[in-house]
Amino acid sequence: MRVLIFGASGYAGRAIAQKLVGNHEVYGTYYSQAKQYSDNKKMLRYKLNDTDIAKSILDCVRPQIIISCLRGDFQLQLAAHKQIADYLLRAKDGKIIYISTANVFDASKEKPHYEFDKTESETDYGNFKIKCEQMLQDKLGDRCTIIRIPQIWGKDCPRILKLIEDTKSNTPIMTYPNVYVNYTTNIQIADWIDYIIKKELEGIFHIGTRDTCDYMQFQLELSKVLGLNEPVFNKEIIQQKCFQAVLPGRKEIPNDFHLNVMDVLAYLRKVQNSCHDTLNRVGGAHIT
């Protein structure tokens, strides 16, 4: 199957590409890493506001599955996804897997949220993601799969590198005690998407741990398992317990694909304390 990943050079996109490349013909896009991908014919340069390049990529690749990990200006992203949806409508087949966010529920924090809860946001980011979800679903129906994710963690992810840097320098780290969130890893996202494609599953999926953890407590526990100094925190005090969590409720996903918060911490300890592969840290998915 031909798969096109918009944003394949990003942290989640690289993991998805690496997972799918063994069983699919995988293409991807990048923006700023021209030197890195100059010899890779299946990595294509794409600028978010260039509709001609997008059309050329879509017409050339003729993807059966499009995975969107795009980032950038909200209005440009929305326009790009409208163009993708219109291409799929003209093609009369194919589907899109759209990576969304827990922020589509950030106006309703009294409980964790499952796949079919009503979305409601109080932030520009959350409202943009809601608008994009709705547009794609309205245009494509069951040819659009929505993936909502909480914070992504993994080997040498930007959040871990920042935590390491800040604890070493005793730089205050922003934290939110009494806010309970769930977590995912780049590998879990890739595994779920591979399974969703393989089993031709449809609809909305929440990819994250089945439990939640206090935001500050997670930062403390992660610092411990990584052998770091205890962080210096800049706390934003939340008086009442609240949630920013998208819990997985779909029954089609096997138990082996699910994680708890302790699983994520154990995984991060294992991969982060292993020998660092410089190529993995600065490189990307090698799509051949």
Backbone angles phi, psi at 97, to 5 degrees: -110, 115
Q: Is residue 229 part of a domain?
A: no
Q: Is residue 256 part of a domain?
A: no
Q: Is residue 47 part of a domain?
A: yes
Q: What percent of the chain has pLDDT over 70?
A: 94
pLDDT tens for each residue of 245-271: 999 999 999 999 999 999 999 999 999
Structure tokens at 129: 């993601």
Backbone angles phi, psi at 99, to 5 degrees: -85, 110
Predicted confidence at residue 277, as pLDDT, reads 44
Tell me the Ramachandran region of residue 180: left when phi exceeds 0, alpha when psi lies from -120 to 50, beta otherwise. Answer: beta
How wide is the angle at C-alpha 88 spanned by C-alphas 86 and 89, nearest 5°? 65
pLDDT tens for each residue of 111-154: 999 999 999 999 999 999 999 999 999 999 999 999 999 999 99
Predicted confidence at residue 218, as pLDDT, reads 97
Domain count, the chain: 1
Q: Is residue 260 part of a domain?
A: no
Q: Is residue 24 part of a domain?
A: yes
Domain that holds residue 106: 2-152+184-209+245-250
Q: Is residue 273 part of a domain?
A: no
Per-residue pLDDT band at 34 (split at 50, 70, 90): low
Prediction pTM value: 0.92
Residue 206 has pLDDT above 90, yes or no: yes
Predicted confidence at residue 161, as pLDDT, reads 94
Per-residue pLDDT band at 272 (split at 50, 70, 90): confident
Spatial CB neighbours of 169, under 8 Å, sequence gap ≥ 6: none
